[in-house]
Amino acid sequence: MLVTIEDVLTKEELASARQLLGQSQWVSGQVTAGPQAAQVKNNLQLPENAAALPGLRQLVLDALNRTPVFFAAALPLKILPPFFNRYSGASNTYGFHTDNAMRLAPDRPGTYVRSDISATLFLSEPEDYDGGVLTIDDTFGKHGVKLKAGSLVVYPSSSIHGVTPVGRGERVSCFMFIQSMVRDQGQRQLLYDMDMALLKLRQEVGETEPVVKLTGTYHNLLRRWAET
């Protein structure tokens, strides 16, 4: 399941994120790559000790918190602190790879976050760089994703994916790993589809008795499948 969400960041947040990122020093993206991903990863990343990182992370997490479609699609249980990367010049691509299933939680030593869902928040305008297409290979083939700045894509961490080389300009983005309350991708998809359909139905016919019943069914399925 691949879900794109527009305008997750406001114009003001985008401007302040860019300002913070503009003052930062970047390091090789190898710092968070597993051995297999490290062979194809050639980009830059904000280091953990970057002064701007806590503020940037808070800005992104606040934005996710007020975005109901993100909640519906990801059903997040734990979000690993967001990372920031940059593709430009000689460090401009990330070949096809899969994300590590388990990641150490930096804020809680010795504990792990299971990566069910990966997300990319685009911070550069698409017309400001060539290439840099996030390419996701799922059961229905390859999907290219290049969104306007401030928009987010959510996709399964289990997919094979990569970023095509950036030929001109620079592509800055935020990437995240999320453990979902609903581990199974098929169950997550059913819940998302039902939630979105109910949202439309509610707008079209109001809180009728069947809508209330179906809403109850959604929550009962969530009760059955969610782990906290």
76 close to 48: Cβ distance less than 8 angstroms: no
Which stretch, 16-24, 55-63, 67-75, 92-100, contacts Ni ion (CB under 5 A)? 92-100
* Residue among 33 and 69 whose Cβ is closer to Ni ion: 33
- DSSP states of 27-76: EEGGGG--HHHHTTEE-EE--TT-TTHHHHHHHHHHHHHT-HHHHHHH-E
Nearest distance, CB of residue 99 and Ni ion, angstroms: 4
* Residue among 83 and 195 whose Cβ is closer to Ni ion: 83
Tokens describing residue 210? 């069947």
How far is Cα 228 from Cα 52, in angstroms, rounded to an integer?
A: 31
* Residue among 29 and 76 whose Cβ is closer to Ni ion: 29
Which stretch, 71-79, 97-105, 179-187, 197-205, contacts Ni ion (CB under 5 A)? 97-105
Tokens describing residue 70? 């993100």
Backbone angles phi, psi at 145, to 5 degrees: -125, 120
Shortest-Cβ-distance residue relative to Ni ion: 99
How far is Cα 36 from Cα 165, in angstroms, rounded to an integer?
A: 19
The answer to whether 116 contacts Ni ion (rule: CB under 5 A) is no
Nearest distance, CB of residue 166 and Ni ion, angstroms: 16
Which stretch, 7-15, 98-106, 109-117, 205-213, contacts Ni ion (CB under 5 A)? 98-106
The answer to whether 99 contacts Ni ion (rule: CB under 5 A) is yes
Under DSSP, the state recorded for 88 is B
Half-sphere exposure (Cβ direction) of 49: Cα atoms closer than 13 Å = 1
145-204: contacts with Ni ion (CB under 5 A): none
* Residue among 156 and 195 whose Cβ is closer to Ni ion: 156
* Residue among 122 and 191 whose Cβ is closer to Ni ion: 122
Nearest distance, CB of residue 87 and Ni ion, angstroms: 13
82 close to 120: Cβ distance less than 8 angstroms: no
For Ni ion, the binding residues (CB under 5 A) are: 99
